[in-house]
Amino acid sequence: MQKKISSASVEVSVVIPIFNEQENVENLCSRLLKTMDATQKTYEIIFVDDGSYDKTLSLLKEIFEKRSDVIRIITFNGNYGQYVAILAGFEHVCGEIVVTLDADLQNLPEEIPHLLEKMSEGYDLVGGYRANRKDSFFRTYASRIINYIRRKATGIKMEDHGCMLRAYKRYIIDEVVKTRETSTFITALAQKFAGNPIDIPVSHEERSAGDSKYNLYKLIRITFDLLTGFSLLPLQIFTMFGMVISLASAVYFLVEVYKKLCGHHGYGLHFAFVFLLLSVIILGIGLLGEYLGRAYFAVCEHPSFVIRDILEKKNKNEEEK
23 near ligand UDP, rule: CB under 6 A = no
43-49 and 197-202 as β-strands: parallel, antiparallel, unpaired? Answer: unpaired
Nearer to ligand UDP by Cβ, of 46 and 283: the residue is 46
Partner in contact with 52, chosen from Mg ion, ligand UDP, none, beta carbon below 5 to 8 Å by kind? none
| Residue 253 and residue 275 in contact, taking contact as beta carbons nearer than 8 Å | yes
For ligand UDP, which is the closer residue by CB, 214 or 252?
214
User: Looking only at residues 139 through 198 of this chain, which bind Mg ion when binding is defined by CB under 5 A?
Assistant: none
| Beta strands at 166-169 and 97-100: parallel, antiparallel or unpaired | antiparallel
Q: Name the one range near ligand UDP by CB under 6 A: 29-37, 78-86, 109-117, 122-130.
A: 78-86
String marking each residue 189-228 x if it binds ligand UDP according to CB under 6 A: -----------------------xxx--------------
**Of 32, 39, 37, 44, nearest in space to 117 by CA:** 39
Kindly tell me which residue out of 5, 12, 15, 17 binds ligand UDP, with binding defined by CB under 6 A. Answer: 17
Q: What does 260 interact with, of ligand UDP, Mg ion, none (CB < 5 to 8 A by kind)?
A: none
Question: How many residues bind ligand UDP, per CB under 6 A?
Answer: 18
Sign of the dihedral defined by the CA atoms of residues 148, 150, 153, 159, in that order = negative
Cβ at position 207, least distance to Mg ion in Å: 5
Task: Check binding of 82 to ligand UDP (CB under 6 A).
Answer: yes
Residues between 34 and 63 with contacts to ligand UDP, criterion CB under 6 A: 50
Q: Binding partner of residue 168 among Mg ion, ligand UDP, none, CB under 5 to 8 Å per kind?
A: none
Q: Which is nearest to 87 in space by CA: 221, 195, 223, 183?
A: 183
**Is 11:42 a contact under the CB 8 Å cutoff?**
yes
Which residues, 126 to 145, sit near ligand UDP by CB under 6 A?
A: 139
Asked if 147 is part of the footprint of ligand UDP (rule: CB under 6 A), the reply reads no
Strands in 43-49's sheet, in edge-to-edge order, are 71-75, 43-49, 12-18, 97-100, 166-169, 125-130, 197-202
Q: Is 21 in the site for ligand UDP (CB under 6 A)?
A: yes
Q: Which stretch binds Mg ion (CB under 5 A): 5-13, 96-104, 122-130, 250-258?
A: 96-104
Contact residues for 281 (Cβ-Cβ < 8 A; gap 6+): none
Selected binder of Mg ion within 106, 179, 183, 191 (CB under 5 A): 106
DSSP line for 51-82: S--SSHHHHHHHHHHH-TTTEEEEE-SS---H
CA distance 136 to 119: 31
Among residues 36, 103, 119, 126, which is the contact residue for ligand UDP, using CB under 6 A? Answer: 103
The DSSP 8-state label assigned to residue 3 in this structure reads P
Task: Output the CA angle 306-307-310, nearest 5 degrees.
Answer: 180
Q: Shortest gap between Cβ of 221 and Mg ion (angstroms)?
A: 17
| Contact residue for ligand UDP among 5, 18, 57, 125 (CB under 6 A) | 18
Q: Is 249 in the site for ligand UDP (CB under 6 A)?
A: no
Q: Bridge partners of 198?
A: 126
Would you tell me which residues interact with ligand UDP (CB under 6 A)? 17-19, 21, 50, 79, 81-82, 85, 102-104, 106, 139, 162, 212-214
